[in-house]
Amino acid sequence: MTADVPAVVATAEEALDHLERVPAGEQFDLANIFWLPIMVSNGRVLATDDDPEMLALLDRFRHYPTSTGLLHMFPPPRWVPFCERFRNGHNLAVQYRPLLDRLIAARSGAGYVGPRDLIWRLVHAQPRGDDAPLDAAELRDEISTLGSSANTTLRPLVWFWYLLDTHPSVEAKVCAELARVLGGCSPTAEDLPKLAYLRQVFEETMRLYPPVPALLPRRANFLILPWVLHRHRKFRSDPDRFDPERFAPEPAAARSRYCYMPFGSGPHVCVGASLAMMQMIVTAAVLAQRFRFRVVSGQQVEPVAWVNLAPRTGIRVTVEPRRAAA
Ligand code: HEM
């Protein structure tokens, strides 16, 4: 994860260049600003280069499923031929198979001298403890699962900027910490543990807006709903209030680990949690030192739970250079 920090910093700095060119007063959906840096940094972590086909795959994952339907819960059986066109996930996997096979083959060859990115690490992993690596189908599944899950990082980033603009005292503390620790520079891996308050803000953001709002344990007939768990008044006072101090070391240590689970828990806990935290903190640290996002007034921000929790019609903002804002 530490090795991936420079790639994430680079994508956040590219976003800065893009924001510099935005005309004053122009309105944007927050997700459209952050989607590109998250997608590009995920692409670089997985496969190093900005492979256009890889980026297209990650972008496609973001839009899958495009709409909610009963068939997502009850997929038609494979033996019903005319239902093939409804099996969107399967068709998508077939469509991207040549790309994944090409990326795997490149990293499997003895002559490969490229970087040891995440796909390389998967190709050379021995997850069963013997010498047997993952076979081609397993590798395709792993890369697809990682690629689609990695999109989740976009969700808390969007809520973070919304909460920052609507809570000026929190914003002031974040800016003071960034100025003290980074002094206008981009963070290095060594700086990240020093951005403790920024981390708390992200933890509190994911408490109020859990990016994965429902967990489905396999073969169980119950759901775990982080949205309910995180806002239950049995576990915390004034649960709907945004207060990053809840995640200061002392209160955090006193809390049960089962009343806060944005990354899930148990054997299927998120394997990308540290990467996601790093991406969020780095992206926020780079951008918040230069810009602030002002939520356009008069819009109704309504969270909607599907695979991820996202604002129903997005969150429109304008962007201001930080110095002018100060
Ligand atoms: C803020 C961002 C993220 C959040 C909130 C999040 C949340 C979660 C949650 C709640 C689960 C458990 C689902 C369940 O129990 O049914 C999960 C699983 C998973 N996540 Fe994440 N995730 C994030 C980012 C990422 C990233 C960046 C990656 C990959 C690079 C990733 C890869 C995975 C994978 C592969 C699983 C399945 C683990 C398994 O079933 O063994 N996630 N994530």
Per-residue pLDDT of the chain (326 residues; tens, 9 = 90+): 788 899 899 999 999 988 988 888 999 999 988 888 888 888 888 887 777 888 888 888 877 666 666 666 676 777 776 666 666 677 777 888 999 999 999 999 888 888 888 999 999 988 777 778 899 999 999 999 898 888 899 999 999 999 999 999 999 999 999 999 999 999 999 999 999 999 999 999 999 999 999 998 878 888 899 999 999 999 999 999 999 999 999 888 888 888 999 999 888 899 999 999 999 999 999 999 999 999 999 999 999 988 889 999 999 999 999 864 44
Nearest-CA residue for ligand 1 atom 21 is 270
Q: How far is CA 149 from CA 42, 105, 315, in A?
A: 10, 23, 22
Domain 2-34+149-325 listed as CATH 1.10.630.10: yes
> According to the model, what pLDDT value does residue 52 have?
82
Sign of CA dihedral 18, 24, 26, 27: positive
Q: Check residue 239 and give left, alpha or beta (phi > 0: left; psi -120 to 50: alpha).
A: alpha
Q: Does the C-beta of 278 come closer than 6 Å to ligand 1?
A: no
d(CA 205, CA 325): 23
Relative to beta strand 291-295, strand 316-321 is antiparallel
- Cβ of residue 276 lying under 6 Å from some atom of ligand 1: yes
Where along the chain do its domains lie?
Answer: 2-34+149-325
How many Å apart are CA 179 and CA 176, to the nearest integer? 5
Phi, psi of 158 (to 5 degrees): -65, -45
Which residue's alpha carbon is at the smallest distance from atom 27 of ligand 1?
A: 150
Give residue 268's pLDDT. Answer: 85
Residue 1 has what pLDDT?
Answer: 73
Phi-psi sector, 292: left (phi>0), alpha (psi -120 to 50), beta: beta
What distance in angstroms lies between residue 181's CA and the mean position of ligand 1's atoms?
29
What residues are paired with 320 via a beta bridge?
292
> Would you say the CB of residue 211 lies under 6 angstroms from ligand 1?
yes
Query: Which residue, by CA, sits nearest to atom 23 of ligand 1?
Result: 152
For residue 325, the model assigns a pLDDT of: 45
Say which residue the tokens 């806002």 belong to: 231
275 lines ligand 1 (CB under 6 A): yes
Q: How remote is the CA of residue 268 from the centroid of ligand 1, in Å?
A: 8
Nearest atom in ligand 1 to 46's CA: 30
Tokens of 101: 């096979």
Report the pLDDT value the prediction gives residue 326, as an integer from 0 to 100: 45
d(CA 174, CA 165): 11
Q: What residue owns the CA closest to ligand 1's atom 43?
A: 270
What are the angstrom distances between the C-alpha of 81 and each of 62, 85, 86, 237? 28, 9, 10, 54
